[in-house]
C-alpha cells in the first residue's frame, strides 16, 4: 500500500505521519507538497496536523480551498481511504467531506496531553483492529478541537454509526464527546487525537499502530478481492 502525506504551508505533524507509515508500518509513503501533488497513484491519503496557512480565517479553511482538495475528493469518491488528523480533520470539515465544524476548546486554551478514548465503532476500515468499547490512549494537541454539529446532524451521525471515537473525559467540550467521525461511505475518517504519535511505547503509547495496520489490512483484502 502506498500513502501520500499531503503537506501544506504550516503543517508540522507531517514528519510524524510519514514516520508512522514508512518506518513503523513499513508501508510505502511519500511527503507530497500540496502544489506539486499528483495523487493518482496513491492508495491512501494522510492529512497531518499543524497550522495550515497559519489557521487564518478558521483552522483548515484556506487549505480546504486549495487545488489538491479536488484530487482528494476524487480519491475519496473512489472509495480509497482518507485520514485527517487534527488540522487534517479540520480541513476535511471545511471541505465538506465530513459534517460539522470545529470551535475553540471550552477552556479557550491549547491542550497537549495523553487522552483516553473509547472505540465506539470497530466496524470500519480504520478501526477493525480494535475491540468495540476498547479504551485506547492517544495524545491531543489542539486549540480548536471542540467538535460541534446541530441536533439533526448528530442524530444522523448516530443513526449511521459514524461516531468512531469518543473522549472518555471530553477535555475540549465536543458535542457527544466526539473525538473522531467517519463519512457515510466509511472511507474518510477525521479525528482530533494523534494516532501517529502513539505508534511506539517509547512515545507513551502504541495504541495508534492498530489504526494504521487496520487501514493496510482492509485495503489488501479489498484489493485482492477486486483483482
Query: How many whole angstroms separate alpha carbon 154 and alpha carbon 58?
Result: 22
The yes-or-no answer on residue 149 being catalytic is no
DSSP strand pairing (82-85 vs 44-47): parallel
**Is 35 an active-site residue?**
no
Q: How many CA atoms lie within 13 A of 65 on its CB side?
A: 7
| Gap between the Cα atoms of 117 and 168, Å rounded | 5
Catalytic residue among 115, 142, 149, 194: 194
Query: Does residue 196 carry a catalytic annotation?
Result: yes
Point out the catalytic residue in the list 94, 115, 120, 196: 196
CA dihedral 58, 11, 114, 129 (to 10 degrees): 100
Query: Of 86, 120, 144, 149, which one is the catalytic site residue?
Result: 86
Rounded Cα gap, residues 216 and 81, in angstroms: 10
| Catalytic positions, written as ranges | 86, 194, 196
Amino acid at each position: 500500500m502506498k500513502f501520500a502525506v499531503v503537506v501544506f504551508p504550516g503543517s508540522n505533524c507531517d514528519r510524524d505521519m510519514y514516520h508512522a507509515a514508512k518506518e513503523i508500518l513499513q508501508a510505502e509513503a511519500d511527503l507530497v507538497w500540496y502544489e506539486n501533488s499528483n495523487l493518482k497513484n496513491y492508495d491512501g491519503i494522510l492529512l497531518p496536523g499543524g497550522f495550515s496557512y497559519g489557521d487564518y480565517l478558521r483552522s483548515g479553511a484556506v487549505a480546504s480551498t486549495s487545488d489538491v482538495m479536488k484530487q482528494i475528493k476524487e480519491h475519496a469518491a473512489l472509495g480509497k481511504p482518507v485520514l485527517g488528523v487534527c488540522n487534517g480533520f479540520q480541513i476535511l470539515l471545511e471541505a465538506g467531506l465530513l459534517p460539522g465544524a470545529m470551535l475553540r476548546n471550552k477552556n479557550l486554551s491549547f491542550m497537549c496531553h495523553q487522552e483516553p478514548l473509547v472505540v465506539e465503532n470497530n466496524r470500519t476500515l480504520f478501526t477493525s483492529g480494535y475491540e468495540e468499547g476498547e479504551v485506547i490512549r492517544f495524545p491531543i494537541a489542539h486549540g480548536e478541537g471542540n467538535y460541534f454539529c446541530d441536533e439533526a446532524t448528530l442524530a444522523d451521525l448516530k443513526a449511521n454509526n459514524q461516531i468512531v471515537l469518543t473522549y472518555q473525559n471530553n477535555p475540549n467540550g465536543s458535542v457527544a464527546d466526539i473525538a473522531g467521525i467517519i463519512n457515510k461511505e466509511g472511507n474518510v475518517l477525521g479525528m482530533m487525537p494523534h494516532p501517529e504519535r502513539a505508534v511506539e511505547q517509547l512515545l507513551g503509547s502504541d495504541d495508534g499502530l492498530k489504526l494504521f495496520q487496520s487501514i493496510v489490512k482492509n485495503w489488501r483484502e479489498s484489493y485482492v478481492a477486486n483483482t
